[in-house]
Amino acid sequence: MTYRYTPARRFIHGLRRSALGFLLVLLPLVPLVAQPVTPIDISRAREFTLLWKKVVGGNAGPPLYLVSPCGVGGMNILAVPTTSGGFGCFTYPRIDTTRPVIGWSASFDLFDYDGIPPKEYIDWAGRVDRCLSDTYPFQLEREIDKINCWGAGERGINIDLSGDIDGDGYEDLVCDIGGGGYTARVIRGGPAAGRGCERILYLPMVKDPQGNDVTGIVALWRTAAGGYRVSYEYTDVWRTWVVMSELQVHRTADSVEISYTPLDSIRADGFPGQSCIAVVQDTIARRDWFLIYKLDSELNTGVLERFDVTGSRFVHSGERVRGTVFYNPWNIGHILGTEKPVVAFHIGGFGQVFCLVDDLTHPFASFKPQGTGIQPAAGYTAINDQTGDGKPEFVLSGGDGVILVLTLDSTVTNVESGLFLTDTVLATLHGSILEVRLHDPCTVSAELVTTDGRTYPVLAASAGTAGLNRYDLSSVLSRQPRGAYLLRVRTGETFVTLSIVL
């Protein structure tokens, strides 16, 4: 199959493709009277509480949360890639660093490689792995393909942009936005997409009103309606604009044609660049919001503005906020369990604030990174509830291999309240004596797990008391063949796994 780029032959209202005609259409859409500017108000922001911290060393990449990998229920994994080898742990029902998590300490995304459920996994180096069963220990076929086809501006895979871009009925992945001389690259899914770099669909550069290739891509996003749009920065002799265009994909039997149709633009004088915008999708209300931070020349200060881009125009919301540093904002979406999507950004001398997208003036939460070792932050995710309030917990990674779990649960007032989440080993084996330390009374049991997955009970369910409990396993362990095992200890609904050699 071949791929062709067809430049858009028409601009808005059928005007000829020219910079003057293009801007004449768009100029009337720009508000002539500026909206009032409101200072940001942090009085309602509740500070995140540190619940758990892990230092693994090395430079940390962004964290990844895998729910039921390979379809194995209750085995959710938090994985953080690092230059020192990476880190992974199970998180359900509580974080457990004593059970080994092997092979998941990298950034993996679900990928429909062959069109046959379940989906495969692809890491950020382009390696595709296939699950061979839905049981634990995990069974994976490694590197069934390698799609390592990045450009000079590699930016990784953006899982939020997944969708059927080429129109063949299978979900694709968007990666490398703005890199390698393209708008982006698309890793095509499905059984007929080929192998290796054959799977790459290159999204060519957009043309600006003068017909030149656009190198200043501001954003690429998937709309609430399921299509794709791109915005870019354009400067003429008088002023700067941010232009929004529709990505058009025309598929035939043997080719895919890509074109772009300009939709609208806004004035962006004083716009610092790509790092000062965010496109936030409200997947519940099915709305798209465009946030931009730029200099207000009259006030001589930076102002954050919000536009509704659900339709084909930039529609100003009326919200203009000052007192922020909207640089590399975090587009958090709904992962914190909120009904509306969340965006987080910096306030100089204070820290990071978290806002619902339709109220940028009043942050509902905050985080002060000073003293945590997390700077610079590499990324974020959310994991399952750890405190019992029913809400996901927020995870950050960065610095020298630092991982933080943060909570907004009002019942947790300090890190000591979350001691059950620390790295303290709750179960240890001294010779043949199993010691289990409990915070509250619960039932305790244990079993041996062989390297091929067979299990042997070694401790029947027993009543454990708060504090230290000791169990003599000599009569059972002495009958087992010599070798390496896992000792899986169940304490209530929590599992602790120890690696042992008999």
Q: What is the CATH number of the domain that holds 449?
A: 2.60.40.10
Residue 441, in any domain of the structure: yes
Q: Report residue 449 as tokens.
A: 């797990």
Domain assignment present for residue 39? The answer is no
Whether 444 maps to a domain, the answer reads yes
Q: Is 291 within a domain?
A: no
Query: Is the pLDDT score of 230 beyond 50?
Result: yes
Kindly tell me if the per-residue pLDDT of 498 is higher than 90.
no
Domain count, the chain: 1
Tell me, yes or no, whether 449 lies in a domain.
Answer: yes
**Res. 15: pLDDT tops 80:** no
**Residue 445 in domain:** yes
- CA distances to 11, 262, 265, 383, 500 from 18, rounded to whole Å, are 9, 12, 15, 50, 73
CA distance linking residue 154 with residue 298, whole number of Å: 38
What is the pLDDT, as a whole number, of residue 426? 65
**pTM (whole model) above 0.85:** no
Domain carrying residue 447: 425-501
- DSSP label of 265: E
Is residue 430 in some structural domain?
yes
User: What are the backbone angles phi and psi of residue 108, rounded to the nearest 5°?
Assistant: -110, 140
Please report which helix (H) or strand (E) contains residue 318, including its range: strand 315-322
Per-residue b or e along 234-260, where b marks 16 or more CB atoms closer than 10 Å to that residue's CB:
beeeeeebbbbbbbebeeeeeebebbb
Cα angle value 34/36/38 (rounded, 5°): 140
**How confident is residue 413, by pLDDT bands cut at 50, 70 and 90?**
low
Mean of the per-residue pLDDT values for the chain? 86
Instruction: Give the residues across from 315 on adjacent strands.
Output: 308
**Highest-scoring range by mean pLDDT, 7-11, 82-86, 262-266:** 262-266
User: Is the Cβ–Cβ distance between 404 and 379 less than 8 Å?
Assistant: no
Check whether 16 has a pLDDT greater than 90.
no
Residue 179 has pLDDT above 90, yes or no: no
**pLDDT band for position 306 (cuts 50, 70, 90):** very high
Domain-located, residue 2: no
